[in-house]
A and B are shown apart, each in its own frame.
Chain A
Amino acid sequence: MAGEEAQNGRDDMQIDRPEPHLPDEFNPNYLKVYYGKLFPYGDMFRWMSYGNDGKHPGCDSSYFSRREFAYTTGEDTFWRYQSFDSEAQFEKSIKQNCPFKIDIGPVYTVEPAKRNAYAQGDGNNVFTPVERELIFDIDISDYDDVRYCCSGADVCLACWPLMTIAIKVIDCSLRDDFGFKHILWAYSGRRGVHCWVCDSSARRLTNEQRAAIADYFHVYTGNENSQKKVSLTGFALHPFLVRSYNEVLKNFFETKLLISQNILSCEERYEKILDMIPDSSVTSELRGKWQDKRRSSNTKEDINIVRWEQLKQLLQSGRQRAQGLRRCVEEIVFSFTYPRLDMAVSKSMNHLLKAPFCVHPKTGRICVPIDPKRCEEFDPTAVPTLSQVLDELNQEGSRADANLELSRTSLGNAIRVFRSSFLEPLLKACKEEIESSFSAKLQNSRDSLNW
């Protein structure tokens, strides 16, 4: 994989005076420049410190150093349990090792790098995870049965709305239902999005509670050996599903995906939908209408929309309100739009997840944050690539200090989004929390003294 490309790049590239208009692919020498001049160490450090890097006596100064980082280096080796005492050490290590990928793990009881020194014989293991953001990983390759434009790791503007839907549905529920406030969404660099829920209550969830939240979001039940993809039972839908359907899914399905994916355009595709209707009289009526090509080709309207309206009308008309059909329209929409999470990632504390601002070694794209409020505008094909930001850097020359350099590249914009929509409110809340829990503790000890 990336290892080969690394070999190619090494000889013909000069780090000190990079040529203008660098070739587009990923190259470890560019990565060195990226880590040397652009990677936002300070922001990452402040994020991962959650306010504990301050001077306040309530700060837990060991917090950052108990966090696990993991590197994937050029030779495809995986180094787990890296940990750092300070921002300077963090920066130095990354610059030195130039990892192709940086993963972030949980905060442990003790510094991961020194875990062996703390081990107390067998059985009594003091090295366990104590805190971890609640994370979600959504890959577009899990939607291959409902997108016709791309497959596998490829994405395009026709299927990306699936990710937009996922962000909207999950983000809204995390905020409104679960009451979380500090949520970071990031492009994973190639085929999906990552979500980091960073409220202190989220970081302290047990594995069981994480699994419960993941299951709350879990509607899709298909596996390779069963066709049924979404099953909505009961006399009504849960308010969360109702809201998701009314506010996001329905609209995206009818105005975007139906047309961009040509969901009902040919026999092979509409048969897949007819399979989801458990009533043969309805399906044969629809099939009859749709097989007759002359009738449908006369209309000016998009064929997918015409057919969808016919299907809805038939299923929702008075005489078809029979038991099993009540939910069919919703089930179809859910199957084609509802977020599909990688459940294992969310369920346990010690799952690693790629850090934002890494560079994806296959695409060269930077894992930039996505502002959930403006996620419709996000275009994965316009995400800055490694060579692009280095190009921008070169055009400006390299005299000024690092911060100025940042703001000139398109990466600067991504970092501004990171700070304003996520980091600053988060750190403000962390500071308040540290202060209030410290004064509560103080009050407690004062009370016990008085007594």
Chain B
Amino acid sequence: MNVTVQTEVGQPDKLTAKDFASDQEVRWCPGCGDYAILKAMHKSLADMGARPENTVFVSGIGCSSRFPYYMATYGFHTIHGRAPAVATGLKLARPELDVWVVTGDGDALSIGGNHLFHALRRNVDLNILLFNNEIYGLTKGQYSPTSRVGQRSPSTPMGSIDSPAEACTYALGCGARFIARGIDVQAKELDVLFKRAREHKGASFVEIIQNCIVYNDATFAAFTEKDVAADMQLHVKHGQPMLFGRERTKGLRLNTQTLRLEIVVIGENGVTEKDILVHDEKNRVLASLLVALRPPSFPEVLGVIYCDQAALSYEAAVVAQENEAKAKGPGNLDKLMRAGNTWSVD
């Protein structure tokens, strides 16, 4: 490349959250969950020592996809559903850039489901943030692929009847090697997820539960409201027992008879902390059990659910092949076109 990549170590000018905010007026609805996510991102990038010139936000279409306009980084607001494809091309061209994809439940799981699948299975080193509000906001409130059965909307006046997509389950099925979930207003937790996603070499998938105040307000209240949060949120951490509840006495145990996770309470029925499953983020089987847990029967699982880095991300493997080919010497077009059967005319 012609441009020298600036290292993040030893930068003289320590950037702040403000340095990552663009001069554009933010045009989300007042009270939208996207504001909190944006703010968290500004701060996280500053904390991580990211450089705005080496950071690119690529988005599709939808409320969430306006995100790049509010970042003082490079940004590309593309077309509906195709952000992972554009980002893949960008990453192939410029593997050294930090590329983030911002998408929503309609953009990523409906019109762009195919591209999300392939970005994840190829393991392109992208940080994919899916803002899930279970509704189409920008088109004025139709149900989305993550809307629950019965969702009333302009396009489903008698309630939706199709089974919702589960973002993290989908990602795992696609072959994602980094899967995490957070909530729009939990800035501290999001900060950790953003950092972990960025560190992970390969496709990182982060579902962010995001409240649409206009078309689907309080749809996540059953686990986000203050009074239920402790009992309905399980924040998992690698190497730590999966405990939750106000007193942190509830936990997950594997029922070896049914091969299912079940909620148990320490101190009840002879349950001790030893019975509680310890989170292992490298364990894909455990990840498959965790992503299947949804309220109201289970708490919402938050944090890094799965992280098992592959030896090489996709674009790194592409570069490795290209280097192998280049090791035999640079290409010469005149030679190439004269290889094989030729003849001369005097």
Whether both chains belong to one complex is answered with: no
Interface set of B (CB-CB < 8 Å, partner A): none
Q: Which residues of A contact B (CB under 8 A)?
A: none
